[in-house]
Structure 1
Amino acid sequence: MADGARWADNGGRGLVDGRGPDGGHADAVLLGFARALRAADVDASTERVHAFLGAVDELRPGMRADVYWAGRLTLCGGRDDLERYERVFAAYFGDRAPAGHRAAATPPPRLRLVVREGPAPGTAARGEEEQVPPAAALASASEVLRHRDVADLDPVERAQLRRLLAAFALRGEVRRSARRRPARRGEVDPHRTVRELLRRGGEPARLLRHKRADRPRRIVLLVDISGSMAPYADALLRFAHAAARGSRTEVFTIGTRLTRVTRELSHRDPDLAMTALAEAVPDWRGGTRLGELLREFLDRWGQRGMARGAVVVLLSDGWERGDPELLGAQMRRLRRLAHRVIWANPRKARPGYAPLAAGMAAALPSVDAFVEGHSLAALERLAAVVRGARPAPVEGADRA
């Protein structure tokens, strides 16, 4: 990066700009930041990310403000991206430390990017440069956290994960709507064109055009909160809370009962949403009756239109206390209604995993995408699949 590279005073293990024995580490951290922005629905294209890396390289990579402005000016494509950028930057690099505040730095266990604030405008540096505590921006720790299994996180890491999940956004795959909207290019809109001619008294007027509008598909999330899913339930429900900010997302919990929790998750504050959800759901950490509850969902909501043409996501480990054949039959019924059926299983990432549980084996032939759900990176991939990315084919799935 820039020629101002220097080591943080931590025994040679922490870097101000990320350059060191593992070369390219800072770029990996910044690319992880770009991936977190994409998960929050910021349009950080490959070209934008390349411009971001070039801008950081030209500025002072050890300065938090320079990294912030380099990203804001290159990665944000519009006004809507700015709020998402602020949330992701704060979660990924840590909240900004108060001006003049100095805290003792704990020696980090590994190489990490530490982004520091520069001196305030008009203030000359005396002796050594004023620095924000390294704890203000442990970006590489966030990058490592993305790939950690949620079940293995300690309380501090879980708090960091919650901040990153709060910046998530989930949007359904786009479909072409039957409705049309005015456009500069497209087919001629005869009704609007004739009205414009009449308004002008028959004088020649420009042909007005329209085109079919794009609309995201509805997303339906079914989150397993049974005892076997307890280590993952909080993270998956916070993922669902981020998804529920969209107007076309429905969320249900499944255990021994089926509970619709879309209203409870409508709170903007994630902690308030989790509190409301805890009061509404009576069957935490119980058993799982996937077949019966899926039938109830289809009878009460799915068949009436909620699942029709939607992207339905089941977040479960597939353990079934009931009849696996019933689950298989209901999954086939769901697949006939939905546009796509996606199953995210946190256990799938474990070495030697095979879908041998009776419920999972019965459901798999009706699943379009079978993905992992054990980490932040896995949830980012799940969000990409929901948006329309094509994962590897599901082994054993029906391709009718």
Structure 2
Amino acid sequence: MYDADRLAVIFARRLRDEKMAISTGSVALFVSAISELDPADRDSLYWAGRAVLVKAPEDIDTFDRIFRSVWLGQPQDAPPAAMAVQESVDESEPEAGGAGLQSSTTTTAARYSPVEVLRGKDFGEYTAADFVSAQRLMADFRTSAAMRRSRRRRPAAWRRHSQPDIRATVRRALRTGGEPIRRAWYAPTLQPRRLVLLCDVSGSMDPYSRALLRFSQAAVAARRRVEAFTMGTRLTRLTRELLSRDPDEALRRAGAAVLDWSGGTRLGESLRDYNDEWGMRGMSRGAVVVILSDGCERGDPCVIAEQMARLSRVAHKVVWVNPLKASPGYAPLAQGMAAALPYTDEFVEGHNLDALGDLIDIISK
């Protein structure tokens, strides 16, 4: 293991020993972040770790103390690393004038790690390098839909949350002269709900469709019972193309399969095709359905309302992800969006990595 990666794991273990809540996903994200940084740049390592691992203000002092010990080799009563960054910038500040404002801006910028900046950056503003870095972070996403009871049963050791298993109880009684001395119980097994992702690839979604399709690929490749489609002027199923663990290869195959990329928008017709061919035949039943679209529609919005109503009746949850929702002053005035909202359980943003992290939390509930 690379030395910085090994130190990151040790660092996380030390934080857990101090009663900080550090998830495995957070550790993986921190390791991914430091792979993009210069290991000798301790300031960047500090802010990357603080952005990813610190969840509560009261944990900052503990984080600072353990960071000094693990990464700097300093006694735990040395000045906090955060203060060292602040002081190194403040010392170069002029006393007055415009240069002071510039130095203040530098101080503010030093408080954010590159990963934190990338997570908050709008997909529409991404450079090619940003997208490559974002792909690595999305590879760590673990999309898990809510659990549901299945028809399968399993023996239960405890009576709580279980039901009597009459057949097993009778079989046991035959071994004891017909007396049901030991009762048997069973409980239903749990399995994740199916997750269905419908991604709009029309021209109006150009700034976001590539990143959202990469999110869909990460979900499909990471677990079973995930289906992915694109919507534009037609419906295209992409589950098979996105199964590849290599995101570049998966997106290349998807690009070849989607014939209406950056074309017109027929959301209502695409939803109708999905419902008729897949959804009403069982794919949507009890599933979490996620629609990633800005809601712009060139067709009849009444078709969207009709198809969303059909979808909402069979799905466990319908989530609409609109990247434009994060825009200042946004209101769902697009005809398609307004028609769909009454049949949507969750209406969320999807313009950056942080928003997709929130989406994962919603899907899992």
**Residue 213 in structure 1 maps to residue 148 in structure 2:** no
- Cα contact 2:172–2:180 (8 A) shared by 1: no
Structure 1 residue 230, shift from structure 2 partner: 1.2
1:343 partner SS = strand
Structure 1 residue 292, shift from structure 2 partner: 0.7
- Cα contact 1:343–1:370 (8 A) shared by 2: yes
Aligned to 1:112: 47
**Residue 284 in structure 1 maps to residue 257 in structure 2:** no
User: How does the TM-score come out when normalised to structure 1?
Assistant: 0.66
Sort the Cα spacing of 1:225 and 1:106 in 2 relative to 1 into closer, same or farther, 3 A. Answer: farther
Deviations 1:322-347 (A, max 9, x none): 11111111111211221211100000
How many residues end up aligned between the 2 structures? 297
Deviations 1:62-92 (A, max 9, x none): x7644422435877xxxxx97x677534323
Aligned to 1:321: 298
Q: Distance in 2 between matches of 1:300 and 1:387?
A: 26
1:262 partner SS = coil
**Residue 249 in structure 1 maps to residue 184 in structure 2:** no
Deviations 1:147-173 (A, max 9, x none): 111111222222211111111111112
1:331-346 pair list within 5 angstroms: 331-346=308-323
Sort the Cα spacing of 1:199 and 1:169 in 2 relative to 1 into closer, same or farther, 3 A. Answer: farther
Sort the Cα spacing of 1:64 and 1:353 in 2 relative to 1 into closer, same or farther, 3 A. Answer: same
Q: What one-letter code is carried by the residue in structure 2 that aligns with 1:112?
A: W
Structure 1 residue 183, shift from structure 2 partner: 2.4
**Residue 258 in structure 1 maps to residue 235 in structure 2:** yes
Sort the Cα spacing of 1:199 and 1:241 in 2 relative to 1 into closer, same or farther, 3 A. Answer: farther
Sort the Cα spacing of 1:248 and 1:139 in 2 relative to 1 into closer, same or farther, 3 A. Answer: farther
Sort the Cα spacing of 1:270 and 1:202 in 2 relative to 1 into closer, same or farther, 3 A. Answer: farther
1:112 partner SS = helix
Query: Which of residues 223, 230, 239 is equivalent to 2:199?
Result: 223
Q: What one-letter code is carried by the residue in structure 2 that aligns with 1:374?
A: H
Q: Distance in 1 between matches of 2:264 and 2:166?
A: 59
- Cα contact 2:197–2:292 (8 A) shared by 1: yes
Aligned to 2:166: 190
**Residue 294 in structure 1 maps to residue 268 in structure 2:** no
Aligned to 1:10: none
Sort the Cα spacing of 1:95 and 1:258 in 2 relative to 1 into closer, same or farther, 3 A. Answer: same
Query: Which of residues 194, 204, 210 is equivalent to 1:234?
Result: 210
Aligned to 1:146: 119
Sort the Cα spacing of 1:74 and 1:263 in 2 relative to 1 into closer, same or farther, 3 A. Answer: farther
Query: Which of residues 39, 46, 69 is equivalent to 2:10?
Result: 69
Sort the Cα spacing of 1:192 and 1:327 in 2 relative to 1 into closer, same or farther, 3 A. Answer: same
The structure in which a higher percent of residues are helix is 2
Q: Distance in 1 between matches of 2:353 and 2:48?
A: 20
- Cα contact 2:323–2:351 (8 A) shared by 1: yes
Q: What one-letter code is carried by the residue in structure 2 that aligns with 1:145?
A: L
Query: Which of residues 30, 35, 40 is equivalent to 1:94?
Result: 35
- Cα contact 2:9–2:27 (8 A) shared by 1: no
Sort the Cα spacing of 1:261 and 1:200 in 2 relative to 1 into closer, same or farther, 3 A. Answer: farther
Q: Distance in 2 between matches of 1:242 and 1:269?
A: 10
Sort the Cα spacing of 1:235 and 1:189 in 2 relative to 1 into closer, same or farther, 3 A. Answer: same
- Cα contact 1:220–1:251 (8 A) shared by 2: yes
1:375-390 pair list within 5 angstroms: 375-388=352-365
Q: State the identity as a percent.
A: 48
Query: Which of residues 137, 141, 146 is equivalent to 1:168?
Result: 141
Q: Distance in 2 between matches of 1:86 and 1:273?
A: 26
- Cα contact 2:122–2:351 (8 A) shared by 1: yes
Q: Distance in 2 between matches of 1:234 and 1:67?
A: 31
Q: Distance in 1 between matches of 2:330 and 2:37?
A: 42
Q: What one-letter code is carried by the residue in structure 2 that aligns with 1:336?
A: R
Q: Distance in 1 between matches of 2:157 and 2:196?
A: 34
Q: What one-letter code is carried by the residue in structure 2 that aligns with 1:189?
A: D
Structure 1 residue 204, shift from structure 2 partner: 8.3
Q: Which blocks of at least 5 consecutive residues in structure 1 are unaligned?
A: 1-62, 76-80, 120-137, 389-400
Q: Distance in 2 between matches of 1:65 and 1:141?
A: 21
Structure 1 residue 191, shift from structure 2 partner: 2.8
Q: What one-letter code is carried by the residue in structure 1 that aligns with 2:355?
A: A
Q: What one-letter code is carried by the residue in structure 1 that aligns with 2:285?
A: R
Q: Distance in 2 between matches of 1:349 and 1:247?
A: 31
**Residue 348 in structure 1 maps to residue 359 in structure 2:** no
1:321 partner SS = coil
2:216 partner SS = helix
Sort the Cα spacing of 1:183 and 1:95 in 2 relative to 1 into closer, same or farther, 3 A. Answer: farther
**Residue 155 in structure 1 maps to residue 128 in structure 2:** yes
Q: Which blocks of at least 5 consecutive residues in structure 2 are unaligned?
A: 17-22, 50-66, 73-110
2:272 partner SS = helix
Q: What one-letter code is carried by the residue in structure 2 that aligns with 1:213?
A: T
Structure 1 residue 264, shift from structure 2 partner: 0.9
Q: Distance in 1 between matches of 2:129 and 2:43?
A: 17
